[in-house]
Structure 1
Amino acid sequence: MDLTMSYTSLSLLFIFSLHIHFLVPASSYFKPFRECVPYRCGDQEISYPFRHNERPSYCGHPGYELDCDGGNLTLLSMASLEYQVIHVDRSEHILKVARTDLLKDICLAAHVNTTLNFSLFNYTSDYLNSVLFYNCNSLSTHLPYWFSCPTSGDGCFAFDADRKIHLYEVCNFSVFVPILPTERLGLPISKVHNNATINRSIIRKILKKGFEITWLANTSLCENCTKSEGRCGYDWTRQEFNCFCPDAAYPATCHITPIPASVPSIPPVPAIVPSSMYAYSHLTCGFHLAISCSKRRIAGHVLPSNEVQSSSL
């Protein structure tokens, strides 16, 4: 009887010891693992290759920064424009986005083309070359998609602008805004909508549904990292993917040889270069989508602006 009790006591003590050994407090986890937990914004999740703009830079791939407005709207800033992220398709690397300046009204204070940073994103093949025309002369108000704005006069929305070259000749401003081909079906083909206010509302609703862009960053290693209970990140020194685990940073997945702890995972401090050396004095460049610069600094090097692809189409 004493032997049985002794054996039972030893078994319980062994199990208790294992429990104490593996029960690691969250506060003692590897710092990047703690900080790079996915950020919830409304019904969207901000996670690698993206990161919330308040998270450390190593939580996302360079350039893919998102904001969360009021805890509900996920926002992407690029060049001089802001986009609402409507949907994220991680399996296809696709974001569905809509320009925030067109969500309330198509009468714009500034006529700016939709522009992507083509080193980070590209349009999917599934879009129409649609254009908003403003301040048009000799524009027929019998067109089904005409509208009028207080400061820019009569305008027109053309979802197939390549076939309507004459509109570029009679209109002073044009703004490229792609739409999905399926949204063309939502546009009325009847000419009974000759009310400019009604037309503006119809066009706004179509543009509000957005268009699709695809991100170019390679995220092939992230899936395996996540499966191994790690969190995906980026090492700015190695300029490679990092898998942050509870104990350390790994090159691909948890529970293999870790990256040496001496390797930093934050952007290197850029060298200070006199602004007089360049044609422009504003050289605060980085991987933030909201900044459009004449020069761009990547890991301490300065690249000419013609290597940063951007187009207004």
Structure 2
Amino acid sequence: MGPRFFPSLPLYFITALFLFTPSLCAGDDPLFTNCSRPFNCGIFKNLSFPFWGDTRPLYCGQQGYKLSCNGIDTYPGISINSPEFILLGIDQLAQPQMMTLSRTLPCPTTLNYSLFSPDKTVVNMTLFSSCSESNLSRVRIEPSRRINCTTNGESGASKFSLFLRDNETNLVSCQEKVVGPVPNEALDEFNSGTLNLSGTLMRNFNVQGLTDNDFCERCLRSGGRCGSNRNSPESFACYCRDRRYDIECGGNAMHCTIIFFSITVLILFKLLVN
């Protein structure tokens, strides 16, 4: 009698392995699949958490890190505030991540400091908008300290913003006060009169992200994709092949590969022995 295949294993057990293991492990969770897609735009390739946008839904990233790309520009826009900024560079290996940003318009814009932290080379500049023209007649504002900008797109109404010195703030009535980041050296040039307000606001500056890289590293090591909870966007989530976990994959997501590998080794062993 010739050798029997898998003599030590019942036939129904072998059949169950081949029938139910693929159905248990095959077919990745759609959330895992979506968050496996990288964000590509211009010079940037394979951007992942905390960034999202285009084919990456919000739950694949973190609020405040939405990127937009029209397929033409070299650099994507990042919707930190309105108007959005431009992402010029990123060091994803830095802890925390370091990003280089630029404004799209010379308008006073601030940062969401719950998501970003200005680099040590950045200082805050205070500007005033929606000021009373009648009060401005009492204060001489040099053209270099005044700008016109449209904050709501081309259809928005243009309004001017001013940089006021300490002795001028009580003389001018303004409705808005905006504190925004600019490079330290740019502010020094502005104060010395070698750079106007528009040029100061359009200088590139660096910020640090405040994402929880420890959770993300644990998630990636377990085979998952980093993201945020769809029901609670401020909370971290790890999207795995089988389902969502709080921090790292477990259960079927970790066992499927081991099962398939074990079956393959067993089959090869039996074939070699027989």
TM-score bucket of the superposed structures, by smaller chain: 0.5 to 0.7
Instruction: Report if the CA contact (8 A) 2:64-2:80 is conserved.
Output: no
Structure 1 gaps, min length 5: 1-26, 107-112, 159-163, 194-198, 261-313
1:124-143, Cα deviation, whole Å (9 max, x unpaired): 454223234566443264x9
C-alpha distance in structure 1 between counterparts of 2:237 and 2:31, whole Å? 13
Q: What is the aligned partner in structure 1 of residue 77 from structure 2? A: 75
Q: Percent identity?
A: 23
Residues 170 and 100 of structure 1, relative CA distance in 2, 3 Å threshold: farther
C-alpha distance in structure 2 between counterparts of 1:211 and 1:59, whole Å? 26
Alpha-carbon RMSD across the aligned residues, in angstroms, is: 4.0
C-alpha distance in structure 2 between counterparts of 1:203 and 1:258, whole Å? 58
Q: What is the aligned partner in structure 2 of residue 129 from structure 1? A: 124
Higher-Rg member (1/2): 2
C-alpha distance in structure 2 between counterparts of 1:54 and 1:235, whole Å? 18
Matches for 1:146-185 after TM superposition, within 5 Å: 146-147=145-146, 157=163, 164-173=165-174, 175-184=178-187
Matches for 1:30-41 after TM superposition, within 5 Å: 30-36=29-35, 37-41=37-41
Instruction: Report if the CA contact (8 A) 2:111-2:180 is conserved.
Output: no
Q: What is the aligned partner in structure 1 of residue 66 from structure 2? A: 66
Q: What is the aligned partner in structure 1 of residue 217 from structure 2? A: 223
1:100 corresponds to 2:96: no
C-alpha distance in structure 2 between counterparts of 1:203 and 1:183, whole Å? 10
Instruction: Report if the CA contact (8 A) 1:47-1:60 is conserved.
Output: yes
C-alpha distance in structure 1 between counterparts of 2:230 and 2:60, whole Å? 11
Deviation at 1:35, TM superposition (A): 1.4
Deviation at 1:74, TM superposition (A): 2.3
Instruction: Report if the CA contact (8 A) 1:133-1:171 is conserved.
Output: no
1:167-204, Cα deviation, whole Å (9 max, x unpaired): 32344445433212133455483x6x7xxxxx6xx543
Q: What is the aligned partner in structure 1 of residue 208 from structure 2? A: 214
Deviation at 1:224, TM superposition (A): 4.0
Deviation at 1:39, TM superposition (A): 0.7
Aligned length: 205
Structure 2 gaps, min length 5: 1-25, 150-157, 255-274
C-alpha distance in structure 2 between counterparts of 1:234 and 1:226, whole Å? 14
Q: What is the aligned partner in structure 2 of residue 283 from structure 1? A: none
Q: What is the aligned partner in structure 1 of residue 251 from structure 2? A: 257
Deviation at 1:237, TM superposition (A): 5.8
1:53-74, Cα deviation, whole Å (9 max, x unpaired): 542333123x244131313342
Residues 43 and 130 of structure 1, relative CA distance in 2, 3 Å threshold: same
Amino acid at match of 2:209: W
Matches for 1:9-48 after TM superposition, within 5 Å: 28-36=27-35, 37-44=37-44, 46-48=47-49
**Normalising to structure 2: TM-score of the pair?**
0.56
Amino acid at match of 2:99: L
**Normalising to structure 1: TM-score of the pair?**
0.50
1:92-113, Cα deviation, whole Å (9 max, x unpaired): 23433333232xxx5xxxxxx5
Matched residue SS, 2:56 = coil
Residues 115 and 188 of structure 1, relative CA distance in 2, 3 Å threshold: closer
Matched residue SS, 1:233 = strand
C-alpha distance in structure 1 between counterparts of 2:147 and 2:58, whole Å? 44
1:31-61, Cα deviation, whole Å (9 max, x unpaired): 3332112211222354212211542333123
Instruction: Report if the CA contact (8 A) 2:64-2:79 is conserved.
Output: no
C-alpha distance in structure 2 between counterparts of 1:28 and 1:219, whole Å? 28
